[in-house]
Structures are given as structure tokens and as C-alpha cells.
Structure 1
Amino acid sequence: MTEQTVTPGPRRPGFLGRHRELSILRADVERAGLDTLAGRPAARGRVLLVAGRPGTGRTTLAEEFAAGLSAGGDYPDGVLRARLTDPDGTPVPAGRAARALLAALGADGPPGSGDDELTDVLRDALQERRAVLLLDDVATAEQLADLIPDTRHCLVLAVARGPLTGIPDVRPCTVGGLDRPAAVALLERGAGDVRVTVDPGATESLAETCGCLPAALALAAGWLAAHPEAAVADAVRRMRAAAADDFADLAAPDAADEPLRRALLLVYASLPAPAARMLRLLPLAPAGLVDAHTAAALAGCPLDAARDLLADFAAYGLLRPDGPPDQGRYLVPGCLDPLLRALLDAAEKPSEALLATARMLERTVRLLRACQAVTEPVGSPARAWLAGLPGPLRFGHRAAAAHWLATRQPALLAAARLAVADGRLDTLARRLVSALSRALIAHRGAEAAAPELYPLHELVLDVAERNDLPRERAAALLNLGDLDARTGRLTEALDRYRAALEAARSERDPEQPTVSRALESIAGTYGELGDWQRAADWYGRAVALAQSRGDLAAQARLHGRIGAALTRDGQWPEALRAWRAAGAAHRRNGDLPGQARALAGTARVHECAGRAEEAQRAGAEALRLAERSGDRRLQAALRLELADCAERQGRAAVAAVHRQAAGRLLDRPGSGPESSATTEGHTYETEPASAEE
């Protein structure tokens, strides 16, 4: 990164102390790196590291510094943030973190991309940007290295427990407790200046008992604010007694976390039983993201009561607001998560925790169904179902539902992963994944939602394999194969389709719609790979299946695809037979437009084989059938095909007549039913629709 003078932005209201740490970070930005001093500036972004234990305020410090950099104008593209460790301590895959950062940039990677591909896409997206990447709770140096941009114009601000060996030229800014004046000032926010002035010694003792840790101080300040009749010395006495109370067996994970444990118990012991129960259930919230619906479902209480309790928890310092205060979204602080889980394990039976999780997931399914139903037409069954829901579960309009879906998406995806990973709620997990998939498609469309749909289909596959559900396994594999094919991963798509065919055949469904779709998908993929003979062979297997079912429409369509594949392969006699078989099936089925397209296919084969007169006759007959059908778009497409044919034969006047007629047909309003494309000789057939989950 080029040397620059970083001017600190204005300190945000409520931020206390940390003058030394902020100065160290600013000096690190201004400091020339070792590569620069050696005369070979690195092509990668500069990395600053804030190192400290959870509860030391390390994330708040990083946020303050990043906000100052952004406000100073050196990084006009703002701050991009991702958390690299889940609340339960599981490291987040680099690909998921990269996708979160891309979403903050308004971009996305191809669906189904691996970690390496997504991190490459992220680096490309950051090439022309000047942004700060705030990577919170970094677990390993390798995890961080995968996300460092290949540009000196971006700065990476990492937050971790300790030094990250393996990242060159990084000096950690180590964060511990606050200095004593800042710690006292933080306590004064809750206690008020009168109580602090009356007993300054007790305030000093309370700060010392809290280890001057910001998280513990915030909890103590919250307790003092909620108990205006209590003296500061009462808080000190209660915290020191925490080692001998009913929760003495809940040891802190580390001795350095003991002040935080005591501060949490100070607050927890003062809560009414319903509030205490809700608090210890909050670690079950997916990704640590909580709103009133989540809390109410976990605790089995009314929505208004949950909303009020969450606001109280935030005032205590037990939760952090996520977004604007009026949105009612909160985060469970990472430093409190292991302690709250210990309380949960001690006070709740496993069956009760599972029931709470099931209630939460069931509420999420209903909200997702309501989110999707609001996109349906007025008067539809989905709208009727929506009208029957209680008011808090309904969305007033589509925009409100879309906003809810967008803001809750990380939690919703985490809920799906949680439900599947648990293994005891598979039926509910399948319903949740299905509802989330439908909501995403309804609001964004299948193409735009594909990056989120891919991991959801993988979750469906996991559940299907675990429970030996061949139909669901086949549907998931087909959907994954479709997404692989759309992104050009044709070999992977072919493997998915073959596995889907195997699963579908094991279902022994007499109608076998999934088998048919798998056969057609394999054939279509071979066509995309340019292996037209194999494509025709697989379409032939699908034809045999359609014949066994007596499905004339499918037979006609598949014969047309065989004809198109053999035409591309230059097998004129075989292609003609296929097109004639398609025409015969369309005729038996009473489908005039289909007959016309099949004749157009035979015309195309004749032309490719050098039989111009036969091609003209077949094309003219196809046009007559199209005129009889009344399909004006099909007539226009055939006219254009005849024009192209005439031009290739040097008959410019005939071609001009056909083009003028096609123009009149296309310009005329109310032009009749739409045709799929130009002719069967090209690619008028559409790809098979995705199977329902």
C-alpha cells in the first residue's frame, strides 16, 4: 500500500478510551511495510491485526478504527465485514466469508463455486476498490490469507484471539482491559455520577472485579442501571459472591474469563425466571442472530413479551443491536455465547432444548411461507392461507416481505444448516429448506437466487441420503446438476445427472417422471459437450420410456431433439427419420404447430444435405400448417427460416418477400400464442423444467 497519512475520523458517541491502541493502528497504516523498504512493494493488501480475548472490546475497537478510516476518505468504498467463526466456535469456510463480502459489494460468485473460486472472484471484485475489510473472529492464519485482496488499495483489519503466524509483516495490536479512568466512566453510565461520586472506592473496586474488561463492565453498568436503589458496593459484593452461588460449577472456559462469568451471573441472578430462561435459550438462535419471533418461539412466550425482553437484554449489555434500533435485530456477543451455553446445559434438559429449537424452526417455516405467499396473485389459495394467519406472521406487502428476507438471509441460511446438521429434525429441516427455496425464487427469481439455492439443494441431498429417500435424492441431484450446467461445469453436471438417474430408478415409480428428466438432462449435457451421437442415444432411451407410458407429447418432443442432435452430427437419413417420427407423433396428438416445427426440421436436414428443392417444399408445407394453426409467431419464425434458406440459394427477391411478411406478423398486436423459438431445425425446444423438491 502506498504510504499515506491517516487522519483519524471523529470518535463515535459512546466509545471510551483506547487512545494508545488507536495510535498504534494509525501508525501501522502509515508505516512502510518490509517489502516497501526492500524496494519490492507487495501486490497484496496491507493487514492490521487487533489481537485480544473475547470480551476485551477488540471488535468494538476494530469497528471504531475502520469507521474512522472510512470517514477520513482514504477508503471511499467503505467497510466490508465478515465473521470468520460461528458462535459455537466452528470456523467459517473461506468461500462463505467471501460470498458475504461479495454481497456487501453488490456482487456474487457463480452458484456452487468452491472456496478457491469464490476467493478469486472476491479478489477480482476488489481490484478497482478502495475498501477496508473487517474480518472478525479470525480462527487461523490460513483462513485470513485466503481473503487478502491482491491490491495495495485495500486494507484488511483482522480481529483474532492472538498472533497469526504465517501472515507476513503483521504486528498485532494487543488489546486487554480498559485503562482505569475509561473503566470508571463506563460504569458511570449505568450507576450515574451520584453513586460514583458518593462511593468512588467501590467504583474502583467494581472496575477491578470486572478486570476492566469492557464486556464485564457493560454488564455491571447494565445491572446498576436496572437497580437504581442499589449501591455500587452491592454490585461488588454480589460479583465476589458469584464463586459460591448456585452456579459455582459453571467455571469460565479460562481463568482470564472469570470476571466476565461473574458479571454475567450478576445480571442473570437478578432476572425473573421467564427472562432468565429466554436468555439461556438464545444461543440456540442460528448464527447468534435474534429477533422477537426467534426469541418468542424459543421461549414459548408472546411476541410482545419477547420484544420487550430483548430490549431489556440489550440495555443490560447481554445483546448487541444488529442494524438500526427500530429493526429489533440483535446479536448474541461471541464472548457470552459459551457461558450462556453452559447455563443452558445446566438448566435445561436436552429434550427441552430440542423442543425449543423445533418451535423456532417451525415459526421460521411459517414466516417463509408467508413471505412467499405475499407474492402470489390476489384471490389465490396462498393469499387465502396468508389472510388466515395471525397479524404478526403476515407481511403487508411484497416490499416488506422482500426486506425481511434480505435482512434475515444469513440467519435463515444458518437455520437451514442447523436443522440439517442436528439430524433429529429431518422432516422439519426438509420443510424449512423447501420454504426458504420457494421464498428466494419468488422474490429474486431462480437465476438471481441460484448462489443461495445451491447450498440448500446440497442440504436436501444430505437429508435424503441420511434417511434413504431416493426420490428426494434424485430431485436434489437434478437441481444441483441444472445449476452446475448453467455455470459451465458440464462434467460435474453429468455426474449429478447420472447419480440422479440411479436414485430415480431405485424408487421404482411406475410413471418414472424423474427417470425421464434425468435421461433428458444427460442427453442435453452431452449435446452441450458437442457429443451429438451420445445425446441422440440418451434421448432415444427417454423416447422408449415415453412410449411405455403412452405419452405422445413427450414422444414427439424427444423425437424432435433426436432429429436436432443428428442434424448437428451430419447424419441426414437418421435425422430425417427422427423428424418424421416427431411429425407423426404430433399429428396423432392433434398438434398442428408441432407438426409445422417437425416439417421445418426436415426442411433443415434437406438443405444441409444439399437437396434445395425438397427443403423448399417441406418449408412451404410447414408454413401452411402454421397458418392453419393460427400461431403468428410460429409463422414469422418459419418465414425467417425460409428467407435464410432462399438467401443461401441466391434467391434474394424471395428472401425479401418472406422477411417483409415476417415483419408484418411480428408487428401485429395480439399475434396469437407464442412459439418457443424459430424452428425445430435449430433449438425451438426448451430445456425440461426443474423437478419439484
Structure 2
Amino acid sequence: MLALEPNRVISVDRLMDAIWDDEPPSTARVQIHICVSGLRRTFSALGLTDVISTRPPGYALNIPVENIDAHQFEEFVAQSYSLVEAGKPQEAVTALQSALGLWYGTALDGLQGRIIRGGALQLQERRLAAVEEWLRLELSLGHHVNLIGDLTVLVRDHPLRERLYAHLMVALYRSGRQAEALETYRMARATLVEELGIEPGDELRRLEQAILRGDGDIGDEAVTEQPPAAPRDTPIAAVQVVPRQLPAAIADFTGRTGTFADIVDVLTGPDGGEASGTVPTIVISGRGGVGKTTLAVQAAHAVRGHFPDGQLFADLRGGSGRPASALEILERFLRGLGVDGSAIPDTLDERAEIYRSRLGERRMLVLLDDVMSESQVTPLLPGSSGCAVVVTSRTRLTGLPGARRIELGVLERGRAVILLERILGEQRVRDEPEQAAALAELCGHLPLAVRIAGAKLASRPHWQLRRLADRLRDENRRLDELEHGDLGIRASIEVSYQGLPGPAKRLLRLLSLLETPDFPGWVGVCLLDEDPAEAEDLLEALVDAQLVDAGAGPAKSAPRYRFHDLIRTFARDRALAEDSAADRSASLRRALSAWLALAKEAHRREYGGDYTILHSGEARWSPPPALLERLSPHPMNCLDGERAALVAGVRQAAQLGFDELCWDLALAAETLFEARSYFDDWRSTTELALGLVRRKGNPRGVAAMLYSLGSLRIFQLEPDAALEALEPALRLFKEQNEPHGWALVLRNLAYVDSLRGDTKQAIRRYGEALEVFQLVGDRTSEAHVLSNLARSLLDGGEYAEAETYLERALKIARDVGSRRSEAQVLYRLGESALRQGQIDRAGRSFTLALRIVRDGADHIGEAYMLYGLGQVYVREGRHDQAHMILEQSLALAVRVGERLVEGRVRHELGEQALARGRFEEAAARLGQAVEIFRSLGLPPFEARALVGLAEASDGLASEEGAHAAEDAARAAWALLAGLDSVEADGLRDRLALRQPVAVPGTPRATG
């Protein structure tokens, strides 16, 4: 069943129907769960995980469709049709042979059950259609002699398929066997008359006449004509009583245009019940207050003319504590249909029999409102296909066979405002359009809430809309404000809440305490500290009750869940009233600890262990191991899905005063924020945690957050701001006798030194940090320092020693399994090779690093690697390819806000334009690079770009260019005076050797 519909959720109810038809045993659901567990173990033994996922309301087979033979078959068939259209019949034959070669006997042979056999018949029909097309093509290619044997067997196995008889007649006739061709026609006619009582179709009759005439060219195109549809007889019943039980339609009904039209089409369209022999049934589900009854009643009034024999309506009170029974509703319906009370039997079955008999010859609409379960509905379904049923429910009622299900959500923003306008009048809303939109937003675009707000304002014509909007902004009073007369949001939600079992109520209350906009299914395990399977069942009970929404996660990952704002407010009120402060605090601490564990595990997998990071010493709640396994094989992608939750978690930990948990979570989340350039999230979470640890007097936490803030400023290339955070962090770590933290800060300070061109101080600080990392066993940080030391040595022209450091760093990165660190070291090796003129080796290093960063979706790393490859292409003389790949690097750097790469690429493109004599382009690009490097405070980079700008401006051969060249040269000389490196010496030589163009009126500068 799962393979017949891959990557789609198959409900447990449908699986039960497929296995046991209409007679499932009492243990059916348990047996299905056991089967799924067995299948998962089988897949797991073959090294395949997460092949079958649990997704409400059932299971899904997660598998690329190309791994399913039926899909491969369809692909080959589609390919054959494309080849026919392209005039390639022989290639089309080959494609069909490949398709048919996938078959081994009958599809799903040996499996029983109505649904399974239906799927098998569909597959078998597609196979026969492909066979017929293959035969047609073979005949068109003149291969008739070789087909006669196959066709004879096919006709025997499928005696009612006229197309096969036609193909056999053509093959026999073209082989000179006219008599046998005519005998085939007689055999076809006899079979069809005997089995179906019909004569052969036009195609066979035309073939017979052509053979009798001895036509020299009998066509091989199959012509299939659909018989005209038989006229539909509409029985007309003698109706004594015509019930008209529908509630009144609502004058201010708005929105739901597409859904409304779909309902009307199902109830009145040509695909309705009489065409299929079934009763059209529509189930409209949604949370309380979303407008299910309003929509159903409005649609029922719209189709009254299609059901002239009457309309029945019943409120089954599914949301109340005392739902109506089918026995009770049938009594009311029978009385409405004219049955005398004394003639109504006592039992449910007998009442249902009379009910179906009364509706048997009538065209009636039955509207069942607020249904709790399928058991309420089943006895109330008519037996006549001339009738139709509309059901509304707070649950999805997936067990009603053949029902068209419509999930009703809140109104669109504009529609909610229109509803308010229809209640209050156009002028009042147009006077305060912004406040009207705010009111709709504060009502969560829930129709009932909007109606209550509108009714309240209508009863207070002296109120401005702003007044009610301001009152609704107080979340503690919002539900109280949304009460008017008999209408109330709290009461509507209370109905659904009271229908839950106790543990599900507790989960709803605890979930509402989370500040995150959405959450994964496993969070219930943390809040309840319960068995994962039980927690998952409770969460699905909340989804079924429409108190929690479920939606697809990113990239087809596990589903995400979220609250409607008003339901969250209700649930929080209940949590404050029913749960102790200690229970709420402990539950939230467990949930936040789970997100921390997820971030820590992602960091370990990204960096090969607990390297390059610090953690607080507070005891944590440990999530189930299966939760951490969700990170595999792409931990950053998984953690990215929790990005909003991580930010909200830091904010909530700060609000609750969990200082150790707060700074630990903020620092662990930095792994994601750095890898994906989420600098705003990095800054906001770090500053929140820093404020808390300062208030709490937590010096280690303060040092950690200052270190993180300094790291962020380095990534944003703000060296002065970085120093403001890193220097006090270094002092605090020393005071706390925290050598690991001290070394991490010192490493970053050394990097700032290198950016500013102070190579000697950078090397000294890197050396001190390296000793500590080796002492505490932080191998990834050791590799980082070795790589950065190598960069400083490369600037000094000490290539051999630099490469020794890089080889050590590469071995460490590979030993610990840190792919990110490996890519960074490979980039340095590529730089080293470029400087030594080893172009092939540089290209290999950059290419390998590019694969790694792309696999990890590291866009900053990708920009760097493309820049490196662009330099390789330049050195190889492949200027067009170099320009293309450098432009790609530039676009990526601009998109992710990586200004250093942006400046370096602009500089490189400017140098290439300069080498080609394109002085205007060169001056423009190099000028942009100068501005970037100057704004970032990077003298070495700025000096390099200024030298190129001076040369480009010289080439303009104009007075303006000459002035620009002299300005650039003077600025470059000033910067180079403070730089001491091999590269700085080379730049000074370039300036000394440049030949300014003499322009009248412009004095020549001297070195």
C-alpha cells in the first residue's frame, strides 16, 4: 500500500481497509503498528533509516520514486510517447521493451483485498496499454511476421480486448494469411456477443471489410470511440412531507470563495452520486470558531434547488459534554419525513432502515453539524445516490469512506477586514483602516473572533476601533474582551479542551508556554518527560481536536506544529491556573535543554567533538538518543530547521532567569549562525544572554558572551568593535582561571592582528594559544591555529614551514572528522600553491574544498572557494572562465554579506581588467574594492587595491585620471609605510616602477 502511493501519507484507517476490507479485527491498529515496526527493522538491517515515517494520520514511505519499478515503467512509457512525437518509432519500441521488461507475472500477485486488487488492476491495465502501443509500433515498422505468436497468446489471455484482435488481424493479413485474419474477426465477434452481448466496434468491422475487399494497405492506427453516455433516469417520488430544516443563511458571509465553489460542485456536479452510485459526502473540519457551520449552511442554501425533496439538519453537539446519539437524531429525522411517532421503532438498526427507505427515491440534502465521531454519522447516511451529506466537525473524521475532506483555516487578512466592514459598515472601517487591520490580526483572522469584535463595536457606536484594538493588545485580557452576548471565544475553545483526556490537556498547557513560533513533535517528550510514543500520540490527539496545527517541515522533514494565537492564550491561562510554577519551570527547562543538546550534537558532528566551544557546568535533561539521530547525515540542515526555536529558546531562558542554560544555548547556536551567516540572530541572542549573565553576576558567562560577540564582530569585519569585546573577555577568563576560554579569545585577537597587518604580534599570540589548545586537547582549535599561523608565514614568504603547519592541520581535521575545518585548511593549501606557482595543485585543493562546503551548505565558504578557483583560471589563462566564476563568487558574497570576499573579488576583477587594458572598468572595480577595505579597516588589502587603482587611473590618460592616480599612489605609500611583509615590499616596488602618464597641467610625481 505504501509503495503504491510513495511519499504520501496513507492513513491507518485506509491501511485497515486494504488489509481486511470491511471486517477488521479489534486488534487491527495494533497489528498495523507491529507490521510497520517489522518493516522498519528490515530496512534498518539493510542500512536504510527513516524509510517509513509516522505522519498524521498514518504512515508514509519516504523513497525516491525512481527506486520503484512501477515508476520506472511509467518513465519508459512516457519516453516512448515522446519519441513517437519526435518521429523516432524504433527508439520508442526500445523504450517500451525496457518498460515491459520490468514485469514478472501479475502485479501484486497473491495479495487480496478490494483496495490492493484495485491498485493491481490499474497497473495491469497500464501494462496492457503499453503492450498494445508496442504492438502498434512494431506493425508500423513492418515487423508483422514476428508478432503473430505473441498476439495469439495475448488474445487468448485477454479475450475481450478488441485492440489485440485488430493487431492480430493486421499481422495475419500482411503475412498473406487472409483467411486466418477473417477467422480472427469471427472469433472476436463470437466472444464479445457471448460474453458481453455486444457486436464488435467500428475498428474491427472496418478491418474486416478492408480484408474482404483485399485492400493493399490496411492501417495500423487503433481507433477507439467512447460509447455515448447512457441517459440518466431521475426517479420522481411522491413526497408527502418536504422538510426544510436548514438554519438561516448569514447575510455578512464573506470569503471562502474557492472552497464554497468546490462544495457546490461536489453536491451538484456531473461527478456526483448518481453518476457513481455513491452518496456524495463532504466533511468540513476545522477548529472552533473558524466558520464551519456558516460555510456549510451557506452552501446548503445555494444548492437547495438541486435537492427539491427537502433538507435535513441536525446539531450533533460533538463539542459538548453530551453529544447527540444517532438514535436520537434518527427519531427527529423520521418525524421530519412524516413518520408518525408511534411508528418509529426503538432500535438504531430499525430506525436506520426506515430512514434509508424514506430517502430511497428522493433527492435530499442532509447537513450534520458539529459531529464528534464517525459512529455518529454512519447510521445517518442515506442509501440513495440522489442524496448528499455535508458534515462539519472539529476532528477530521478520516474514517468516513469516500468522503471529500475540506480543512478550513482562518480567513485571509483582507477577507477578515471585509467581514468587519460588513458588520460595522464601510465608513467606520474606512475611517480607521490601519486599526481595522490590527483588529483582524489580534483576532487571529478567526471568523468568530472577528464577529465578536464587530458585534461589540456595533453595540458601542461611540467607540473608535483603536480603543478595542488597544484593549485586545493586552494578551492577559484578550479572551475576556472577545465576549459579547452569547458569543465568546473562550467558551468555544473550552468545548474542545474539555473533550481531551487529562494527559493531552496537560501537554496542551505546557506547549503553550513555549515562546517559539512552531515546534517539532519531539518537544512533547521533553515537556512531559514521558515515553516518546505516548507523547506523540497525545500530540496527535491535540491535532485531531484542532487545538494544534500540523504542517510540513522544511525540505520534507518531520512535521512542525504551531498554535493559533487565541488558542495559545487560552492554554496559557489554563496552565497558570492548573499547573504549579515548579512544574512549569521544570518542563520548560527540559525543553530548552533538549534544544541545547541538539545544538551541541550538531556542533560535535560539524567540528569532530566538543572543540572550539565552551559549555556551562549545569546538569541537563538528556533527550532520547533517537532525537539526536535526527541530525544525521546533515547536522547543519537539521539544526537550521530549529533556528527560530533556538532564538526563541535563548529569549525565553533569559526571561526565566536560567543564566547558565541561556549563555550555553546562545554559544551552541553560534555554530549554526556562523555557518549560515545568520548574523542578526547571532547578535540578538548573544546580547540577550550577555545582559542576563551580567545581571546575575556570572563572570564566566559574561566572558563567554563577550567572546561570542567579539567573534561576530570579526565575521562582520569590525576589528575595533571586536577588540572592545575580546579584550575584557580575555581578562575575565584569566581571572576565572579558564585556560580554554583564554586561548579561544587569544586566537581571535591574533586574527585581528593579522587583518591589521601586525604579523609579528599575530604569530606570537597564535603560538601562545596553540600551546593551550594542545594542553586541553582542543584538536580542532589546534588545526585552526596551525592554519592561521601558516597564513602569516605565507605572507612572509616562508612557504615550506607554512605547508608543514597546513599538513598537520589537515591531518587533525580529517582525524576528528571536521569537514568544515578540512575545507578551511584546503583553502589555505590552495593559496600556498598559488603563491608558489603550482597551479594544478591549487586547483585540486580549491575544487575539493568547494565540494565540502557545498555539501554543508556553507555559502561563505563557497564564496571563498570560487574566488580561489577564479584565481587558478586566471593563472591558466582561461580568462572567460575566470571572469564567470569570479562573478559567481561576487554574487554569493554580496548575498550573504561577506564583504571581505566581495572586496577581494572586486580587486581581482579590477586587476584582470587592468591587465587587458580596460582602464575604466579596472578603475571602477578597484575603486569599489578600496572603499570596502577602507570601511572594514584592513590596511594591507586597501594598500594592494590602491596600487592597482593608481595604475588603472594612469591608463585613463586624462587630467582627471592623473589626479586620481596620484591620490591613490600617495594613499598607498602612506599605508605601506606601516606594513612589514614580503607582499608589502612587492607593492612598494610596483609603485616605484609605475610610469604616470604626463597630462598638460599635471605635475609628475616622484618616488
| TM-score using structure 2 length | 0.30
Answer with 1 or 2: which has the greater Rg. 2
Structure with greater contact order relative to length (CA < 8 Å, sep ≥ 6): 1
